[in-house]
Amino acid sequence: MKISPIPLAVRTTCAYCGVGCGVQATPQADGGILIDGDPSHPANKGKLCVKGSALGDTLDLRGRLLHPQLRGDGGMRQASWDEALERVARGFGEIIAEHGPGAVALYVSGQLLTEDYYVANKLVKGYIGTANIDTNSRLCMSSSVAGHKRAFGADVVPGCYEDFDMADMVVLAGSNAAWCHPVLFQRIARLKERRPEVMVVVVDPRRTATCELADLHLPVRPGTDVWLFNGLLSYLAREGAMDAAYVGSRTTGMAAALAVANIDCADPMEVARVCRVEPAKLLAFYRAFAATGKVVTAYSQGVNQSSAGTDKVNSIINCHLATGRIGKPGMGPFSLTGQPNAMGGREVGGLANMLAAHMELDNQEHRELVQRFWNSPRIADKPGLKAVDLFHAVEQGKVKAVWIIGTNPMVSLPDANQVQRALEKCALVVVSDIMASTDTTAFADVLLPALGWGEKDGTVTNSERCISRQRAFLPAPGEARADWKIICQVAQRMGFDGFGFGAAHEIFDEHARLSSWRNGTGEGCVRRMFDLDGLAGLGAHGYDTLEPVQWPVRRGPTGAAEGTRRIECGGRFVPTAPRAPVHAASAEYPLALNTGRVRDQWHTMTRTGKAPRLAGHVAEAFVDLHPHDALLYGVREGELARVTSAWGSLVARVQHGGGITRGSVFVPIHWNGQTASDARVGALVSPAVDPVSGEPEFKHTPVRVEHFGVSWHGFVLTRRALALDGIAHWTRVQGSGFARYELAGRNAAAARGDWARALLGVGEGEDWLEYEDNAGGVYRAVHLVDDRIEQCVFVSKRPDLPSRAWLSGLFDLDTIASDERAGLLAGGWLGKSADAGPTVCACFGVGLNTLCAAIRARKLTEVSEVTACLKAGGNCGSCVPEIKTLLAEARVAEFMQAG
């Protein structure tokens, strides 16, 4: 008798956001992987958002980088690991020998595991002897890091997720948590369901999906958060709402911070004017904050990504220090981390101005301690270049070799065209990635294939300081290797000892031991909050079975590891004088460009872009602006617009999302050279940075918006690769078994059969149905192979094309019956099923039109009723805020009709 093995679930952690949800990955008999939430993980207790749920759809090897590649005379060629490692080690070695260690740099990522990060930092700071290692966390968390250090003397988030269950008030400042931290957002939603009196305040210039939960939305003028929170501090002092005992015994600097706040922000009317919010709403916020003890203020990139980002962070923390609401149940300032290991990277000192294990580069005692522990030949003694400066130094030829690991700076850095100039000029560009073709790998001299999520092993730390294991459940594909291994192998070839690690747990052990080494108050000691003493000496088995635990992790009386839920600490007030963004709007660039995320894509789309069910929510790059601004600048919803700043430009489709104030435009960050002809928003973003943290001002660049004239619009759905030469504008997303291209152009020949056949590569005599209306500028054709749809093209003078949803569904069918062919060129079964519209619920593929029709026809008023009818919203819940908006809109429509 054959006994089939029971598939074992591997417990791991999600690859995406800083919520850090536990995931169970169960290999299936058909070779697929079943992904569900880990009920035992404290971050999510079994829940996953739509991106986490779709992780299984991103694991195929399409487009993966599977072998090392080297640039030669004829372009890139496959090479052995031996050759590639040698080229990197020798290249770095020669440049260091000739120009000194400062002529090389690493640029790494908050998506690396702690173990990868640890060895990268050790190599650069302890062995090469420069601090030129920076990370994309500079673009993300560095203002929070700087703010924490100024206030707490260490980079700590005092609270934990449980505080969100216990709070009486939750303030979300510059955070679109509904889309960016969905599982945490749902936790707040459950709190509100249980206790409707809990007040939720959202501070965001846009009316985002997060506002669905808000009792109060403050649509502040971009960049004015310091005014808002200084005004709050001033109000708290005036109203006697401070915790005098706490301020007196646990804090310093209150008088100076308050004096600065009082200069510009003592008058709520004036603050309301500057922030452009209704005075009554501002006062409602101030009153509620003063009157409520259990307040959590969570913040993300609307706060960090600003030239005043560090001050924004401290202006928030000041209000929590003033009220003594730090690290106690249900209260505290809470920095939401972006990437899965944004926090872990900071623990190992992955930023150019930090040393390992929360020690400081500019402190001699700290440097000596780390160097002695590493027994390293040298130690960097001055801060290295921060991300934006680093790529300027590359362009200036000061840095001649750069190794980019796990990040895509051609897309994600500000002034991204400058990054291109820098990489073109750089003598040696090494890129470690999991994908072969990204905007950044295109400039590599050496490409190193890394193991991806599901293949690699290590640890990550989430927003609440919780360390969890990522575990492998897939074999290594091709010749890919773990990032830590690649780094160690280069280090060894450069002649350095100290990198002989055989497995990830050995690196983790060294990291844990360094964190507790001489950590205390005795002779020769340096006291640090970051301490993993309880996790030292785990061994392979202990590491494999490590349960999620929050640092500091010390040893209890029995020697067992004990984590720390909350850190109750005092702190320093920091005076925060408000200031406007660096670049103001002008006659030439009258609008402020705000950039950020959409629900179903992750950054530069190298992974989420693979999952068809994540493609339907937002299928192409857009520029969202207020209808009045659209009128003013001559652009129309559904048509294309060019957005231009002093640094660069892009083309995207105009939309009125309904939530943006006049004077701003919003463009998503995700589209890039692989997924669109011209939609890389980084090219437009100003390189202005925060003077303390070096974090770029991603949320505020002056731009203008103009009509992008084309003579035709079209789309193609195809199972084949498309040659896009000569197309003025295109974007692409992945469907199930096909790719969807949105196209627009200026060549009059487009509405003709010979053009369409050439575009799709269709020869004479193939099964080709077409419809042509020359006068109307309409052309449609469908290409079938063995009665199965192979590709189709629809073109029109106007952007009035039929639904892509219905045609997309045909790619799942093996045959198109002959009597059904009639509907093909109409883009739908004539008179039969309706167009589902853009995806709202990605888990069950439920479209906007389907939802609206059901809500109207069946008079639905609750999300639970919608779920009962259509399943929508019943799995991960990421779409619940949008369903609620549709329900509200339907109520308004009905009311208007009745009235």
Binding-site ranges for ligand SF4 (CB under 6 A)? 14, 16-17, 19-21, 44, 48-49, 51-52, 181-183
Partner interacting with residue 111 (select from ligand SF4, Mo ion, ligand MGD, none; CB below 5-8 Å by kind): ligand MGD
- DSSP 8-state assignment for residue 127: I
| Preceding peptide of 838 cis, ω within 30° | no
Binding mask 127-156 for ligand MGD (x = CB under 6 A): ---------x--xx----------------
Nearest distance from C-beta of residue 175 to ligand MGD, angstroms: 4
Nearest distance from C-beta of residue 449 to ligand MGD, angstroms: 9
Nearest distance from C-beta of residue 864 to ligand MGD, angstroms: 25
Structure-block tokens of residue 143: 């203002």
Contact 20, 14 (CB under 8 A): yes
Binding residues for Mo ion restricted to 321-350, rule: CB under 5 A? 338
* Residue 174 contacts Mo ion per CB under 5 A: no
Partner interacting with residue 19 (select from ligand MGD, Mo ion, ligand SF4, none; CB below 5-8 Å by kind): ligand SF4
Partner interacting with residue 251 (select from ligand MGD, ligand SF4, Mo ion, none; CB below 5-8 Å by kind): none
Q: How many CB atoms lie within 10 A of CB 50?
A: 24
> Binders of ligand MGD: how many residues, by CB under 6 A?
62
Nearest distance from C-beta of residue 204 to Mo ion, angstroms: 17
Nearer Cβ to ligand SF4, position 44 or 550? 44
Nearest distance from C-beta of residue 197 to ligand MGD, angstroms: 24
Contact 706, 641 (CB under 8 A): yes
Binding residues for ligand MGD restricted to 705-734, rule: CB under 6 A? none
Partner interacting with residue 44 (select from ligand MGD, ligand SF4, Mo ion, none; CB below 5-8 Å by kind): ligand SF4
d(CA 887, CA 862): 7
Structure-block tokens of residue 476: 């290594």
For the four alpha carbons of 882, 887, 892 and 893, in that order, the dihedral sign comes to positive
Contact 570, 253 (CB under 8 A): no
Partner interacting with residue 271 (select from Mo ion, ligand SF4, ligand MGD, none; CB below 5-8 Å by kind): none
Closest CA to 807 of 713, 718, 714: 718
Scanning 90-98, 138-146, 436-444, 675-683 for contacts with Mo ion by CB under 5 A, the matching segment is 138-146
* Residue 621 contacts ligand MGD per CB under 6 A: no
Those residues whose C-beta lies under 8 Å from the C-beta of residue 525, and which sit 6 or more positions away, are 518, 519
Partner interacting with residue 205 (select from ligand SF4, ligand MGD, Mo ion, none; CB below 5-8 Å by kind): ligand MGD
Nearer Cβ to ligand MGD, position 310 or 519? 310
Give the start-end residues of each E strand in 220-339: 251-252, 295-299, 332-335
Partner interacting with residue 347 (select from ligand MGD, Mo ion, ligand SF4, none; CB below 5-8 Å by kind): none
* Residue 452 contacts Mo ion per CB under 5 A: no
Structure-block tokens of residue 585: 């709007």
845: left (phi over 0), alpha (psi -120 to 50) or beta: left
Scanning 126-134, 294-302, 375-383, 808-816 for contacts with ligand MGD by CB under 6 A, the matching segment is 294-302
Closest CA to 14 of 33, 35, 40: 35
Residue 796's DSSP bridge partners are: 713
Residue of 438, 515, 564, 693 interacting with ligand MGD (CB under 6 A): 438
Partner interacting with residue 594 (select from Mo ion, ligand SF4, ligand MGD, none; CB below 5-8 Å by kind): ligand MGD
Structure-block tokens of residue 709: 């004239």
* Residue 140 contacts Mo ion per CB under 5 A: yes
Residue 655's DSSP bridge partners are: 624
Q: Which amino acid is at 650?
A: L
For the four alpha carbons of 410, 411, 417 and 418, in that order, the dihedral sign comes to negative
Partner interacting with residue 685 (select from ligand MGD, ligand SF4, Mo ion, none; CB below 5-8 Å by kind): ligand MGD
What per-residue string of b and e applies to 650-685 under the rule 16 or more CB within 10 Å gives b? bbbbbbbeebbbebbbbbbbbbbbbbbbbbbbbbbb
Binding mask 480-509 for ligand MGD (x = CB under 6 A): ---x--------------------------
* Residue 604 contacts ligand MGD per CB under 6 A: yes
Binding mask 526-565 for ligand MGD (x = CB under 6 A): ----------------------------------------
Binding mask 328-347 for ligand MGD (x = CB under 6 A): ----------xx--------
Nearest distance from C-beta of residue 470 to ligand SF4, angstroms: 11
Nearest distance from C-beta of residue 339 to Mo ion, angstroms: 5
Partner interacting with residue 49 (select from ligand MGD, ligand SF4, Mo ion, none; CB below 5-8 Å by kind): ligand SF4
Which ranges constitute the DSSP H helices of 517-650? 539-544, 627-633
* Residue 19 contacts Mo ion per CB under 5 A: no
Scanning 174-182, 759-767, 791-799, 844-852 for contacts with ligand MGD by CB under 6 A, the matching segment is 174-182
| Preceding peptide of 383 cis, ω within 30° | no
Binding residues for Mo ion restricted to 194-213, rule: CB under 5 A? none
- What is the H or E stretch that residue 344 is in? helix 342-347
Nearest distance from C-beta of residue 382 to ligand MGD, angstroms: 26
- DSSP 8-state assignment for residue 832: S
Closest CA to 191 of 173, 174, 175, 215: 215
* Residue 602 contacts ligand MGD per CB under 6 A: yes
* Residue 173 contacts ligand MGD per CB under 6 A: yes
| Three-state DSSP state, 855 | helix
State the Cα angle at 86 between 80 and 88, rounded to 5°.
105
- DSSP 8-state assignment for residue 211: G
Nearest distance from C-beta of residue 235 to ligand MGD, angstroms: 18
Q: Which amino acid is at 850?
A: T
d(CA 484, CA 393): 26
- Could you give phi then psi for residue 257, rounded to 5 degrees? -65, -40
State the Cα angle at 641 between 681 and 796, rounded to 5°.
125
- What is the H or E stretch that residue 338 is in? none
CA separation, residue 564 to residues 105, 159, 185, 338 (Å): 35, 10, 23, 22
Nearer Cβ to ligand SF4, position 337 or 440? 337
Residue 608's DSSP bridge partners are: none
Structure-block tokens of residue 495: 């002649």
Nearer Cβ to Mo ion, position 140 or 298? 140
Nearest distance from C-beta of residue 211 to ligand MGD, angstroms: 10
Q: How many CB atoms lie within 10 A of CB 896?
A: 8
Nearer Cβ to ligand MGD, position 326 or 669? 669
In sequence order, what DSSP letters do the residues of 85-119 get, joined into one string?
A: HHHHHHHHHHHHHHH-GGGEEEEE-TTS-HHHHHH
Nearest distance from C-beta of residue 416 to Mo ion, angstroms: 16
Partner interacting with residue 203 (select from Mo ion, ligand MGD, ligand SF4, none; CB below 5-8 Å by kind): ligand MGD
Residue nearest to ligand SF4 (CB): 52
Nearest distance from C-beta of residue 557 to Mo ion, angstroms: 40
Closest CA to 625 of 528, 706, 733, 729: 706
* Residue 96 contacts ligand MGD per CB under 6 A: no
- Contacts with ligand MGD by CB under 6 A lie at 17, 51, 109-111, 136, 139-140, 173-177, 179-180, 203-206, 208, 220, 222-223, 225, 300-302, 305, 338-339, 405-409, 411-412, 432-435, 438, 450, 452, 456, 483, 594-597, 599, 601-604, 606, 669, 681-682, 685, 698-699
Q: Please report, as ranges, the residues that interact with Mo ion according to CB under 5 A.
A: 140, 338
